[in-house]
Structure formats: C-alpha cells, structure tokens
Amino acid sequence: MSSLADLDVAGKRVFLRCDLNVPLKEGKITDDGRIRASLPTINALLAKGASIVIAAHLGRPKGEAKPELSLAPVAVRLSELLGKPVQFAGAITGADVTAKAEALAAGEVLLLENIRFSSAETSKDESERAALASELAKLADFYVGDGFGAVHRKHASVFDLAKLLPHAAGTLVAAEVEVLKKLTIDPVRPYGVVLGGSKVSDKIGVISNLLGKVDVMAIGGGMLFTFLAAQGKEIGSSLVERDLIDTVKGLIKQAEDSGVKLLLPTDIVVAPTFSVDATPTLVSADAIPADQMGLDIGPETAAAFAAAIKTCKTVFWNGPMGVFEFPNFAHGTKVVAQALTEVPGISVVGGGDSAAAVRALGFADSAFGYISTGGGASLEYLEGKELPGLTALDL
C-alpha cells in the first residue's frame, strides 16, 4: 500500500476521501473527533504544496439531498481547526464544482457536499458507481484514501475512484491498519476483547473469529441479554434477538472448547422503561424481573471486567456496556473505559459509539492506546473480511 511519501503532489490537486461523519444535534457538531483525525493527512498534503478536494459522507441520506445532513457545518469546523478557509462546494459534481476545483491554488481546500446525496455513491450497480467515479476523477490528479470508517464499503468514492487515479493511503488509514495488525498478527498476550452495543447480530462474525485468538472475552451492552437467554435465564423486557439464541449457544460452546475465558454479567442495572429519568434497580443476572429491562451491567460485573482487562497486554473494546447517554446507566461503560486507560500494553477503542462514549464521559483521547475512527470497518477487519477500500489502495 503506497503512502503519502510516494506521491509528488506539489502544484497538483488531490482528491481526498475523508471520514467526516460526525454526530450533529440541532445543526451543531457534538463530537469533532473524526474531523481532528483527518487533520494530519490534510496538513501533510498542504505542506507538500497540494490543493485538496475533499469528499466525505454524513449519515445515511440514501441518495437524497437532506439539509439536516449537509456537510456545511463540517466545513466551518474544519476551517477553524486548519486555521484557514475551507471552501464549501454545496454540490458533488457539475460545472460549478469543476470550476471551483480548477481554481484552487496550492494550499487551498474545497469540501464537496455529502457524497451520499448521490445515489450512485452507494449503488450496487457497478456502472452507476463507475460513472460517478469518472466524474470525480476529473477534479484531481491524485487520490488519497483516508476515510477508514468507510473502507468496508464498496462505494464509488472509496473503491471505484481509487482505481482511476494514482493513489495512496492517508496517514489515518495507515495508522488504523497498523494498529489492527497488532490485534490480528501475533498479538502480545494476554489478549482481551470487550464487546457491547445493542445487537449481537452485528458482532457474531467477529466473536466467532476472535474466540480462536483471544484469551478472555467480556460481553456487555444490549447484546448480553441474548447470551443470558441462551443460558435459559429470565431477561424481562430487555432487548433480545431470539432467532439467534441457538447461534449464541454455539458461541458459548466455542469459547469453552477454545479455552477462552468468557465473562458474562452477574448483576444488571434494570429499569421499568427506557428513559433518562427511569428509576434504576440493581438485580442479579439470575433474577431480572419480568417487567424490567436491563440498561447497564452492574458494579460487580463492571469490576470483574475491569480486573480482567487490567491483566491483559492487548485489549480491544467495541460497544458500550449500557445506555451511557443516560447518567443512571453509564457506570459500567465508565468503569470499562477507565480500565482501558490502565492497560500495561496497547488498548484500542473500536470507534463508533465506543469512541463517542469515552469522550462523552470525560476521557481524553490520549488516555488510550488508540481510538479507531471506524467501528464497522474495525469489526470487519477483525472478522477477517476483505475491505474494498483497502483492496483498492493496494492495487
């Protein structure tokens, strides 16, 4: 995979695919972590004398131009962080976009509108994606892929465009791959994985693949209730995927057969409703009331998870332990996050909700070994899948 050092971009235009998919609330960015993660590549290209055309996505507009998913606020924040103006195209292709790109001088930056406003970006029809990629290729001399959060997607600006221009991986993608290799190729042991989030269906593949490679695996979040149900326990009105109970029974057996220490909760914080002001009650994982739902792991479980984490030299964490957005149900996630800051080796926070959680709970990015920008991409890499965006950069 080529790096930025391999490209002579002085006086040239670079098409840069970033991941600027930041959370917005009432039009304001609530976490600019992904914008900040893109700065090293942008600054490196500018230092080399390039001008840059940036493409990125925000949310899932499904081919429709939705004002609430415009990248306009991102252009403003990126300008602030770079300390220089960032032009906003307000469109993806067309005569005006072409004119703005061609007018760029060395050191100038143009941000296109949300690339997913074009249905061709995510189309399963290769000819549609190719047509969009061809239009985008006219805007620049080189392509740099730095949107790690999208490399598991076979999208026009991620996969098809890279094949049309001289290309390289940005510093973020290179760093992500280097870290993930440490989790998959001869990891320093003991090796622990903590998985949470709402659905076990999102993580079956990675659980199965990692059970043959890790020493300890801890399960929290909404997905834990499918595990408890697989053990025949009452889970009340908690989130559960009943069609996957037999599959989860197989995963539990796989852990036993592989000699992996599988940690499941022993206590649960429950409430009668899913709301920020719901009254929390602590119960045993064996005694969840029928009219209550689990919204966090209990303190005993959190302590056990933390103790296991701190014995490991390599730890990967993806998915909060509970509804961390509600203060009454954030304790488990906070305890696990704190434990990751004390790992005597490398600790990796696997992007997505996990990254949002640690920042929302007051942790600095620097407290962890690495915070990934791509939750889904990280999981698919650890699952052993081929990621189209990385494949394209390897060509």
What is the set of active-site residues?
Answer: 34, 199, 352, 376
Is 353 annotated to bind a ligand? Reply is: yes
From CA 18, how far away is CA 307, in angstroms rounded?
A: 37
Annotated ligand binding at 294? The verdict is yes
58 in a known ligand binding site = yes
Residue 189 among known ligand-binding residues: no
Dihedrals phi, psi of 199, to nearest 5 degrees = -115, 130
CB atoms within 10 A of CB 325: 14
Question: Is 203 assigned a ligand-binding role in the annotation?
Answer: yes
Establish whether 48 is an annotated binding residue. Answer: no
Specify the DSSP class assigned to residue 99.
H
From the number of C-beta atoms within 10 Å of its C-beta (0-12, 13-18, 19+), residue 82 rates as: middle
Q: Is 353 exposed, middle or buried (0-12, 13-18, 19+ CB in 10 A)?
A: buried
Known binding residue 27? Answer is: no
b (16+ CB within 10 A) / e for 259-273: ebebbbbebbbbbee
331 is an annotated ligand-binding site residue = no
Among 133, 185, 175, 215, which residue's Cα sits nearest to residue 377?
Answer: 175
60 marked as binding residue: yes
Residue 20 annotated as part of some ligand binding site:
yes
Is 77 assigned a ligand-binding role in the annotation?
A: no
Give the CA-trace dihedral at 320, 324, 330, 332, to 10 degrees: -10
Q: Which of 375, 358, 356 is closest to 367 using CA atoms?
A: 358
Q: Is position 153 annotated in a ligand binding site? A: yes
Residues annotated within a binding site for substrate: 19-21, 34, 57-60, 116, 153
Residues flagged as binding site: 19-21, 34, 57-60, 116, 153, 203, 294, 325, 351-354
Annotated binding-site members for ATP? 203, 294, 325, 351-354
| Binding site members for (2R)-3-phosphoglycerate | 34, 116, 153
